[in-house]
Amino acid sequence: MATVEQALNVARGELGYSRWTDPQAGTKYGRDYATRHGAYFGTSGVPYCAMFVTYVLRQVGMTPPGGDFAYVPSGITAARNLGRLVSAANAQAGDLVCFDWDGDGVADHVGFVERNYGSYYQTIEGNTSSGASGSQSNGGGVYRRTRNLGSVIAVIRPDYTGSSSSWELEEDGIWGAHTGRRFRQVFGVPASAPWEPTAVRALQYFLSWALDAYRLKAATGVDRIPVDGFDGPITIGAFQAWWNASGIPAGHRIPITKTWDAETVKAMQIALNHSWAGSKALGVKP
C-alpha cells in the first residue's frame, strides 16, 4: 500500500493532460486500462474519469476498493460491499469523490479529494473541464477543481498506508470503512465479503437467537427474522429492538426507525467496540 500523499503526488503530476492533444488514439489512462480489460477502453471517445483514478492508484501499487473500475456506479457498489464508503462531510485527502450532476441517483463522475474545506472540496479530476463552462464529466482534461458537496453521491476511501488500523471505532454515527471492517471482524466474515448478503446474513443469524419473538414482533410486525442477507427494515428494526433490550444505561434507547440513522449506527459502533473479534455476537457497554 501507499500513502495518501504518494497517490496525490501522482495525480498532481497528471495535471494539464488533455485527450484533445494526446497524439495517440484514446487516452493515456484508457490505454493503460485496456492492457488489463480489453482494447475497447483504449479507443477514442471512452470517458476516462474512473480509469484516471484507477491509473493513479496503480502507479503507487494500489487499486480502488474492489479493483479497477471504468464505470463510476460499479466502483461505488464495490466499495459499498467492502465497507469503504464514508460520508461526504468526513471526506479526507486521497478519497475518491463521486458526483451526480443531474440528481438522478446515478453517479456521473469521480475524482480525488485533495482537500476538504467543510462546505466544498478541492479536487483533482480526470476528464473534466477547467471551469464551469464545458462538460464537467467528459471535458477531456485533468484539472484541479473546487466542488460543493451538493452534487456528491458517494465518497470511497482507498486502503492507504497509515489509515486507521485500530480495532476501536469512533462512535460518531457514521458507517464508514472502519465500521464495516470491524463488523466483519466481529462476525467472523472475510474482510472482502460483501455487505449483502454475506455480512447481513451474519447479523440476522445473531439477532434470530439474541432477540425474543415478543420484542421482535413488537418492533417489526414479524415473529421470525428471515436469514436472507437482505439489509431491510426487519433486520434494522430487529437490531434496534435488541439494542433497547440489552441492558443499556438509562437514556440510551433508540427509536425503532427501521433505518440506519445516525443513532442506530452509533449504537452498532458501541456494540462492536464491546464485542470480541470472531465472536459472531454483539455486546454492550457494561
Separation between Cα atoms, residue 69 and residue 25, nearest integer Å: 20
Mean pLDDT of the chain: 91
Q: What is the pLDDT of residue 285?
A: 57
Segment holding 71, helix H or strand E: none
Alpha carbons 279 and 256: distance in angstroms, whole number: 26
Beta bridge partners of 122: 115, 146
The pLDDT value recorded for residue 90 is: 82
CATH class of 4-156: alpha beta
Longest dimension (CA), the chain: 70
Sheet containing 141-148, strands listed edge to edge, beginning at the edge strand earlier in sequence: 85-86, 152-156, 96-99, 109-116, 120-128, 141-148
pLDDT of residue 265: 93
Does the reported pTM lie above 0.75? no
pLDDT band at 167 (very low <50, low <70, confident <90, very high): low
Per-residue pLDDT tens for 190-228? 888 899 999 999 999 999 999 999 999 999 999 999 999
- Mean pLDDT confidence for 156-166: 71
Domain layout of the chain by residue ranges: 4-156, 177-273
